[in-house]
Structure 1
Amino acid sequence: MLDLPDKIKSLIHEEEYSIDDVGMSDSTVVLFKDKVLKIQTISEEAENEYHVMEWLQGKLPVPKVLGYERDEKKAYLLMTKVPGEMACADKYLKDPEQLTTMLAEGLQMLWNVDINHCPCIWNLEKKLQMAKYRVENNLVDVDDAEPGTFGENGFKNPNHLLEWLNNHKPEEDLVLSHGDFCLPNIFLANGKVSGYIDLGRAGIADKWQDIALCYRSLLHNLNGKYTGKQYQRFYADMLFEKLGLEPDWDKIRYYILLDELF
């Protein structure tokens, strides 16, 4: 039995549920028939997710907030379940051409949102401040980093990486960013994006933040990192062709390295 605030209990009654174990988040995600309850430690990201989800109503396909409560330690966000399936579903990975087309359209949908009055800012200044806090408080998991990020041919430690990031900040092209544009966070249906989830880092940021993490997620999922199953017919420039952009490999590397501290 879940230990929940009374208001959240009143909204879910005694519905059957299951626990979702997909994704890299440290939150607890409880799945009901038509609702999702996200339970996480109180943090700026938890507050951000609630506020940005409210702001995005009518602008993008995001869950509708049904209830939001906090106690001394936890935040409880109850929302509607988005339709469709995760972009990492086997049926999408089997067709990288169609998958990258839908993901590119999903990125452009974000960029087309007017960022005036957006309540959440996640530009480099903000993210590097948060990265500094995580480094200083030993919150970075170096074992979860990409091979070669740390060690003999990489950075000595997270502090060394943070120093490099501060000294190599790229110019930003600010748009509405998802913040963690990885395949499990994007839902697809009927040939298009049907929902964005895990919006704790959504807000104003450089467009290459999302491009970089989308590209990395495509490589990981199509190369079998999580399931061992490899998919064919994907080539490195496919996503950039769909976006109509020349890949900025310096920015892609920068934002992937920045994500190693989160």
Structure 2
Amino acid sequence: MDWTYALPDRNRFGWTPVRTGESGDLVYQRDDGRAFAKIAPVARSAELAGERDRLAWLHGQGVACPEVVDWREGGEGTCLVMTAIPGVPAADLSGSDLLKAWPSMARQLGILHGLPADQCPFDRSLSIMFERAADVVARKAVNRDFLPDEDMNTPARELLERVERDLPTRFEQELTDRVVCHGDACMPNFMIDPESFQCTGLIDLGRLGTADRYVDLALMVANARESWASREEEAEAFAILFNTLGIKIPDKERLAFYLRLDPLTWG
């Protein structure tokens, strides 16, 4: 799919391919570094439109995130143009620098979770995500690269059944602790000022919606784990995150549950 002709301001700026996302979307950066374009094929146009709408809503809430600049539709797909968030992804930081940025990242997540959930028009509830997981498993589309090592050789159907057994308890918890979640709170989606180590904003918000806050906490903890140089550093980061968010006793079973569910929802 060649959508470069549809990128705006081509007479003033060049656009450089940056990467292809996990979803298959193409990402371009404008040469002045102030904007990105995400291009999706027809099959993913509705999902990209969903990301556009989430960005527009979240930007209106005063949360640091990309602002929608342009939206284009065509017979081959759709193109979303948005402003760039300054800084570098937290995934690019060393373990020691990530630890410096960690309190600011926790505060940024807390700001998101503190938005009025009843005013958020987007739903990322457990029922929706389990239905998605069931569909991915039925299509035999589970991305095994997302699974932890201990689950690599376990049939996807067994992994889904393990999640399903815990659903009644998790549904009950979600009812009492529902917040606005990022939905994919991994290190690449936190932008950091490399000098001040302050979080400058959140990106890749296509899964934003109301859900149990542990959706975000589980992914943030697990995705950062490989960055820490020692068990002590990991424990310090764990404590900082939960103390910053005012959670006195982290629920490790909920963390484990959402880590079992999330890999089954990509595919």
Same-fold call, TM > 0.5? yes
Unpaired segments of 5 or more residues in structure 2?
none
Maintained 8 Å contact 2:179/2:211: yes
CA distance in 1, matches of 2:155, 2:12: 48
Maintained 8 Å contact 1:40/1:46: yes
User: Which residue matches 1:100?
Assistant: 102
User: Which residue matches 1:250?
Assistant: 253
Letter in 1 for 2:84: K
Of 181, 186, 189, the match for 1:185: 189
Deviation at 1:98, TM superposition (A): 2.2
Deviation at 1:217, TM superposition (A): 1.3
Q: Does 1:260 align with 2:263?
A: yes
Pairing 1:143-162 to 2, within 5 Å after superposition: 143-151=145-153, 156-162=154-160
Q: Does 1:219 align with 2:217?
A: no
Q: What is the SS of the residue equivalent to 1:164? A: helix
CA distance in 1, matches of 2:210, 2:89: 24
Maintained 8 Å contact 1:28/1:39: yes
Structure 1 residues 21 and 3: CA distance shift in structure 2, 3 A? closer
Letter in 1 for 2:260: L
User: Which residue matches 1:110?
Assistant: 112
CA distance in 2, matches of 1:29, 1:63: 14
User: Between the two proteins, what is the percent identity of the paired residues?
Assistant: 27
User: Which residue matches 1:140?
Assistant: 142
Maintained 8 Å contact 2:101/2:198: no
CA-to-aligned-CA distance 1:54-92 (integer Å, 9 cap, x gap): 11123211111111223345331111111122112336x
Q: Does 1:21 align with 2:23?
A: no
Structure 1 residues 22 and 193: CA distance shift in structure 2, 3 A? farther
Q: Does 1:38 align with 2:38?
A: yes
Letter in 2 for 1:21: R
Maintained 8 Å contact 1:51/1:119: no
CA distance in 1, matches of 2:88, 2:59: 20
Unpaired segments of 5 or more residues in structure 1?
224-229
What is the aligned-residue RMSD (CA, Å)?
2.4
Q: What is the SS of the residue equivalent to 2:149? A: coil
User: Which residue matches 2:203?
Assistant: 197
Maintained 8 Å contact 1:177/1:203: yes
CA distance in 2, matches of 1:90, 1:149: 28
Maintained 8 Å contact 1:96/1:233: no
Q: What is the SS of the residue equivalent to 2:151? A: coil
Deviation at 1:178, TM superposition (A): 0.4
CA-to-aligned-CA distance 1:203-228 (integer Å, 9 cap, x gap): 111100000000011102x15xxxxx
Maintained 8 Å contact 2:104/2:199: yes
Maintained 8 Å contact 2:55/2:66: yes
CA distance in 1, matches of 2:10, 2:158: 47
CA distance in 2, matches of 1:126, 1:28: 26
CA distance in 2, matches of 1:97, 1:213: 16
Which has the larger share of helix? 2
Structure 1 residues 250 and 232: CA distance shift in structure 2, 3 A? closer
CA distance in 2, matches of 1:22, 1:137: 23
Number of corresponding residues: 248
User: What is the TM-score of this pair, normalised by structure 1?
Assistant: 0.84
Maintained 8 Å contact 1:208/1:255: yes
CA distance in 2, matches of 1:22, 1:215: 25
